[in-house]
Structure 1
């Protein structure tokens, strides 16, 4: 019998309870999930986040009056909340980027966003390399970037291409078409096709990624997600009555958009993707791919700096 051959215990030992032990510790500690939202003012970033997590987590910071000054630079604003659902505690950190893309000249408006994401990697690395490090390092690394695309129905703007390409190198990017109810079904479908073609043409690698560890079910699920991306979404914190039932939606002169109806928009696909199927994978991918690439680069640079110092003294 080979060493790797499975051996069945003759009587019950009890080590199969290790999954319950792990679950108990994880539930007691809770989970951390960090999301950054990027897009122009007025695309409904705050509303969508509040709709996804069924809570009023962030207030709209958009401009509502013509005399209100345009922000001259992209700002970084983070808010934190603890959400509890069926005994599972989620520490949710939402990072907004008001001012992004709102100027006439938007050159380098993405720099503060890239810097913020890299700064979180750097802060985690410093804590990791500390001699007396914490048992559990507070994780502020960004696990997901929701990138909001203006529903023009034509093509991606040059700034969208540049920024998504830069972001995809440091974070998991998930593009969404904001306020998709402003497009007809045909316009929406054609717009999604154009966006996918531009993403491929510009070699923009978006999440989710397939790995060697994925089984057939996970590969198929990721393929299904990639067929939907970018998610055409509508967000709403308001309840409307449809056939005597209260649902979250938007009422306009033509009728009601039911946010949770998959025939109206792809909000449910996005929510399920972020919370029910890929939440843990977003966290792991951040650590194993994006942070690991940053960590390796920093440690190699540190090693090269140390090796150069003796030569300089000679």
Structure 2
């Protein structure tokens, strides 16, 4: 359709009101137009950009994994800041907590005028015990408490300044064993994947060779598919260009991300200063995609999919939790509220309901009639059996009387007394 063309609005005609109403609400009948002049709503993204920059952003990420896998180092590497202070070495005699604790650290980060309120939730103690049964309960409980707090804030009278403390992403650290997921990993992922955006990473990937990493990734994905665990995947939009689609596909091809964290700069053999780790055989560069998947993890988590993580948390994960929570509390949804009513569709629905009601009444009447017929037949069968029994009894009695008379007749013909001696009663031939 050219710029100078005027499209005629499409009309819908049908003898069936229900079909017409359904066709009218069909999204395929929307007329696409191109404007002949400048109106100005193409500037809406710029307005949203100014509003967002002025308001600032927030992002809440939880890191879950055993101690010593480099969670703090990776977070500092991701956001290029000293969010976690250097840890002090604890003496072996120090008593270790027997439970999993939840620690939250928040910081305001600014980059090129864009402010980000970053909150990192750590889970020290997870997976560090001999018996890790139920060790995931504090983590799940903390996530649900944040959902409950947001739900409570939504139900208040004043909802202008709701603070979003919900977990937008969970970076789950997998120990670089090279074999497969441990039972603890499978169980924790199954508990978390319906409540948060799950992003699995292989920690300290520099302990494995490239071949071992590829095999390890395949085994992890096989376990995830076998146990039907949902991990976060970047959404695909209709207007995405080929470059964006290719970038998203490349990021998803690296899941689970094999990462290496490092906060210090080291010198390479050619004299460059890079973030990485120096070994006797060479230098592992954190920001080199040929060495590890750290860059792809950072692209998904921050550069390309941060808003998608927040939208998926709000529109899908939180809504499912909210619906289940309200349903469990006895709150029911009235589908007729805030619904546009089409008279033709409503009339058709009422007619269908009336027909269903008539069919139900007819079925109930048939059932009552059949029940009464069965009761009547049962009574008739019972009466018939009683009559047969009475008839059989009378017949037997008559047969006995006939036999007695035959016996008496025989006695008379033979001249024998009808009764034996000693009996006073009987027939006499006088």
TM-score (norm 1): 0.90
The alignment partner of 2:261 has SS state of: coil
Matching residue of 1:137: 162
Contact 1:39 1:148 in 2 (8 A): yes
Q: Distance in 2 between matches of 1:303 and 1:61?
A: 48
What are the superposed Cα offsets for residues 234-265 of structure 1, whole Å, 9 maximum, x if unpaired? 00001001222211000122221111111111
Secondary structure of residue in 2 paired with 1:159: helix
Residue of structure 2 equivalent to 1:29 = 55
Is the counterpart of residue 240 in structure 1 residue 247 in structure 2?
A: no
SS at match of 2:200: strand
Structure 1 unpaired stretches of 5+: 307-314
Q: Which moved more, 1:169-178 or 1:20-29?
A: 20-29
The 5-angstrom pairing of residues 191-210 of structure 1 reads: 191-208=216-233, 210=235
Greater relative contact order (Cα 8 A, min sep 6): structure 1 or 2?
1
The question of 1:39 aligning with 2:46 is answered: no
Match of 2:322 among 271, 288, 295: 295
Contact 1:41–1:102 under 8 Å retained in 2 = yes
| Structure 2 counterparts to residues 76-95 of structure 1, below 5 A | 76-95=102-121
1:216/1:25 CA distance change after superposition, 3 Å: closer
SS of residue paired to 1:95: strand
Q: CA separation in 2, counterparts of 1:292 and 1:160?
A: 26
Question: C-alpha displacement at 1:273, in angstroms?
Answer: 1.3
The residue number in structure 2 matching 1:126 is: 152
Structure 2, gaps ≥5 residues long = 1-7, 11-30, 334-430
Q: Which deviations, in whole Å up to 9, do the C-alpha atoms of 1:142-167 show, x marking residues without a partner? A: 00000000011111110000001111
CA change 1:213–1:98 in 2 (3 A) is farther
Aligned to 1:103: 129
Greater displacement, 155-164 / 292-301: 292-301
How many positions carry a matched residue from both structures? 304
Q: Which moved more, 1:171-180 or 1:69-78?
A: 69-78
Q: Deviations over 1:44-91 (max 9, x none)?
A: 000000001010112355865433333211100001111111111111
Task: Kindly indicate whether residue 29 of structure 2 is the aligned counterpart of residue 2 of structure 1.
Answer: no
Contact 1:146 1:176 in 2 (8 A): yes
- Indicate conservation of the 8 Å contact 2:258/2:292, yes or no: yes
Q: 1:178 aligns with which of 171, 191, 203?
A: 203
Shift of 1:208: 1.2
Q: Which has the higher helix share?
A: 2
| Pairing partner for 1:167 from 182, 189, 192 | 192
Cα deviation, 1:266-305, whole Å, max 9, x if unaligned, reads: 1111111111111110010100111010111122223359
| Aligned equivalents of 2:234, 2:50: Cα separation in 1 | 30
Aligned pair in 2 of structure 1 residues 220, 293: CA closer, same or farther (>3 Å)? farther
Partners of 1:109 and 1:76 lie apart in 2 by: 12
Partner of 2:251: 225
- Following superposition, the deviation at residue 9 of structure 1 comes to 4.7
